[in-house]
Structure 1
Amino acid sequence: MRRAKTRRGKRFLENRQPKVVENDKTAIIVKGGKTSQTVTDALADLYALKKPLAMRMKRHNPIYPFENDVELESFAVKYDTSLFLFGSNSKKHPNSLVMGRMYDYHVLDMVELQIENLVKSADFDSAKVPFGCKPCIVLQGTEFEKDESMKRIGNLMVDWFRGAVIENIRLQGLELVISLTALERKIYLRVYRTCLKKSTGTSPRVELVEIGPRIDFAVHRTKFASESLFREAMKQPKQILAKKRKNTSTDVFGTELGRIHVGKQNIDSMQTKKMKALRGSKNKEAPTSSFD
């Protein structure tokens, strides 16, 4: 266990400790031993989408994630990152990206995606969105629901692209749309910017303008965590879980109904205020009248 020698070091170690509400997930972008221009452009565009929750390593690192992931895990410990993107180019695996996530600084899930087609964001003339914009992620295709491996890949990509966790967002803040379409073991990535136009109704009319990048991926190798480990990684602390309210139910109209249990009441002992005219005398008997 490392001990801090300065106040700055103490704050640094406290920031690394487990928390009830964890920090936003950051990603590390790593280049392999050999990369092509296609891989370099894809890494740069995906890094721009993830900013500011991302850091990019400039040097080449001869790593083979599916054979040995120790070096990636060491980067996660050093830079305190829970997501990674590794790009490389080889004869067996040309123009490949490995996207993955960590749990407790160990690789949890990762998937190898081969780039079949790439159009850089710089090739689009449309205006770009600012960095750090909260994206609206759309998953399309039945494979994300029926195929178990594609379902896990979709979950991984949403975790990778979702950005910072926020509670509220205004309508004008939804500027970025990331579309992921699954079809025949391929994933088509499209990125759009929303334009709000005037309409006859109260809500504005929304138009989508493609801003790039446009990437077609082919799914190759995968490495997923076991179901037990995945459930453990998905656990939430008890402090942030909403407590179940007892004796409550909701009807078909969405109205919340509550049931109250009241103890036995003794009505005779209840103190009630009576009018003077209604008070009766304890000793005085009621008068009797006689008629001749």
Structure 2
Amino acid sequence: MLPLRQIKPKTARTKRFLDNKGPQINENLRTTLFLKYTTCSDILSLVLTDLHALKRPLAIKFTKKNDIHPFEDPSSLEFFSEKNDASLMVYASHSKKRPHCLTFARFFDFKVMDMLELLVDPETMRTLAQFKNAKAAVGLKPLLSFSGSAFESPTANAYTLAKSLFLDMFKGSEVKEVDVEGLQYMVHFSVDEAENEQAKPVIHLRTYLLRTKKSGSNLPKVELEEMGPRIDFRVGRIKEADADMWKESMRKPKGQEAKTKKNVETDVIGDKVGRIHLGKQDLGQLQTRKMKGLKRSRDVVGAEDVVGGAEEEGNNLVEEAAKRVRVEA
């Protein structure tokens, strides 16, 4: 991994500009850049238009074609990323070997971190305009859902990378609370089950409007209406992230870690669990329950007192007799 370039500012204005582009405690919203290769099919142009419509306003689309080969030389993509302050990129290209190909790239410090190729199926592709219904407003956060065992694989593969890229692309800003009225549409990703090792499952992208209707109770009835676009992807080449770059990108800044409390933990469900340490207990001072059956009865106590008094009186008589004997002698 090449060392990251360091630029020393010469003026206060340049310093403010570099500080704004540099690492932040709270990251900026992820902007996506849409580019085209010198040969781009009409299908890919429609796909880019629809993805750009879903991503707005955090999207920049270029119409000029560029002669770039991301997997051979990504330096041009890194230039566009730094110039437009974009951390995500969708690059459309069409060739005989890889028809209708979309390359999703993710950047860290304006360097390519990982990439994934997804080939669009032109037979099943449907655009936003082909669905004659209302569309979601611009800038709303969508609901994201993933279904399929390939997305939850314990080992990293193309499908886990696709899930990570789609989450970064569509999740928008981080919010603690969401107004229910703002949940207007959902983006659903599903993957088929693998029938054999050679054929890779297809990824299906579907977008639905959320319609709420009266249900006769406090909770409304929710129905889904397909809004578009409808796209099916076949997985192509991938470029995994470098271990050092991935570790650096996942590093949390100081001050963001939650303060840990001694003997207080959070379980998997999210509940707080506390642990209490007690000193050594003296069981001899333990207060037990008093039972009537363990008490001595009055008859037993009186008999013992009588026997004890008789023994004491007999001992006194013996001592007096011994004294008389000594005196007479």
Place the TM-score, normalised by the shorter chain, in its bin: 0.7 to 0.9
Query: How far does residue 230 in structure 1 lie from its aligned partner after superposition?
Result: 2.4
Q: How many aligned positions are there?
A: 261
Determine if contact 2:29/2:173 at 8 Å carries over to the other structure: yes
RMSD, aligned α-carbons: 2.4
Matched residue type, 1:164: S
- C-alpha distance in 1 between matches for 2:266 and 2:229: 45
Q: Specify whether residues 11 and 33 from structure 1 end up closer, same or farther in structure 2 by C-alpha distance, changes over 3 A only.
A: same
1:193 equivalenced with 2:213 (yes/no)? no
Q: Specify whether residues 250 and 20 from structure 1 end up closer, same or farther in structure 2 by C-alpha distance, changes over 3 A only.
A: closer
Q: Specify whether residues 56 and 6 from structure 1 end up closer, same or farther in structure 2 by C-alpha distance, changes over 3 A only.
A: farther
- C-alpha distance in 2 between matches for 1:130 and 1:4: 43
Q: Specify whether residues 148 and 10 from structure 1 end up closer, same or farther in structure 2 by C-alpha distance, changes over 3 A only.
A: closer
Query: How far does residue 91 in structure 1 lie from its aligned partner after superposition?
Result: 1.2
* 81, 84, 89: which one aligns with 1:84: 89
Query: How far does residue 66 in structure 1 lie from its aligned partner after superposition?
Result: 1.0
Larger radius of gyration: 2
**If the length of structure 2 is used for normalisation, what is the TM-score?**
0.73
1:205 equivalenced with 2:257 (yes/no)? no
1:139 equivalenced with 2:146 (yes/no)? yes
Query: How far does residue 45 in structure 1 lie from its aligned partner after superposition?
Result: 0.4
Matched residue type, 2:132: D
**Stretches of 4+ moved more than 4 A in 1?**
4-7, 249-262
In structure 2, the residue corresponding to 1:201 is in which secondary structure?
Answer: coil
Alignment of 1:176-255 (within 5 A): 176-183=185-192, 184-249=200-265, 254=271
CA offset digits 1:122-163 (Å, max 9, x no partner): 100110001111011101101111262111221121111212
Match of 1:155 in 2: 164
Q: Specify whether residues 226 and 12 from structure 1 end up closer, same or farther in structure 2 by C-alpha distance, changes over 3 A only.
A: closer
- C-alpha distance in 2 between matches for 1:215 and 1:230: 30
Determine if contact 2:131/2:228 at 8 Å carries over to the other structure: yes
- C-alpha distance in 1 between matches for 2:127 and 2:95: 21
- C-alpha distance in 2 between matches for 1:168 and 1:154: 23
Determine if contact 2:108/2:249 at 8 Å carries over to the other structure: yes
* 20, 24, 37: which one aligns with 1:15: 20
Q: Specify whether residues 253 and 242 from structure 1 end up closer, same or farther in structure 2 by C-alpha distance, changes over 3 A only.
A: closer
- C-alpha distance in 2 between matches for 1:33 and 1:255: 57
Say which structure is richer in strand.
1
In structure 2, the residue corresponding to 1:78 is in which secondary structure?
Answer: helix
* 18, 24, 28: which one aligns with 2:33: 28
Query: How far does residue 227 in structure 1 lie from its aligned partner after superposition?
Result: 4.2
Determine if contact 2:264/2:272 at 8 Å carries over to the other structure: no
Query: How far does residue 176 in structure 1 lie from its aligned partner after superposition?
Result: 1.8
Match of 2:137 in 1: 130
CA offset digits 1:34-58 (Å, max 9, x no partner): 1111000000100111111111112
Matched residue type, 1:224: E
**If the length of structure 1 is used for normalisation, what is the TM-score?**
0.82
CA offset digits 1:179-210 (Å, max 9, x no partner): 01112431100011111111233221111111
CA offset digits 1:96-131 (Å, max 9, x no partner): 100121111111111111111310001001100011
Matched residue type, 1:82: S
1:169 equivalenced with 2:178 (yes/no)? yes
- C-alpha distance in 1 between matches for 2:86 and 2:152: 29
Say which structure is richer in helix.
2
Match of 2:52 in 1: 47
In structure 2, the residue corresponding to 1:148 is in which secondary structure?
Answer: coil
Q: Specify whether residues 130 and 63 from structure 1 end up closer, same or farther in structure 2 by C-alpha distance, changes over 3 A only.
A: same
Query: How far does residue 223 in structure 1 lie from its aligned partner after superposition?
Result: 0.7
- C-alpha distance in 1 between matches for 2:44 and 2:270: 53
- C-alpha distance in 2 between matches for 1:253 and 1:71: 45
Alignment of 1:108-127 (within 5 A): 108-116=113-121, 117-127=124-134
Matched residue type, 2:173: A
In structure 1, the residue corresponding to 2:165 is in which secondary structure?
Answer: helix
Query: How far does residue 258 in structure 1 lie from its aligned partner after superposition?
Result: 6.8
Alignment of 1:66-77 (within 5 A): 66-77=71-82
Q: Where does structure 2 lack aligned partners over 5 or more consecutive residues?
A: 1-6, 193-199, 280-329
- C-alpha distance in 1 between matches for 2:42 and 2:63: 14
- C-alpha distance in 2 between matches for 1:71 and 1:109: 15
Query: How far does residue 238 in structure 1 lie from its aligned partner after superposition?
Result: 2.7
1:99 equivalenced with 2:107 (yes/no)? no
Determine if contact 1:4/1:13 at 8 Å carries over to the other structure: no
Determine if contact 1:76/1:82 at 8 Å carries over to the other structure: yes
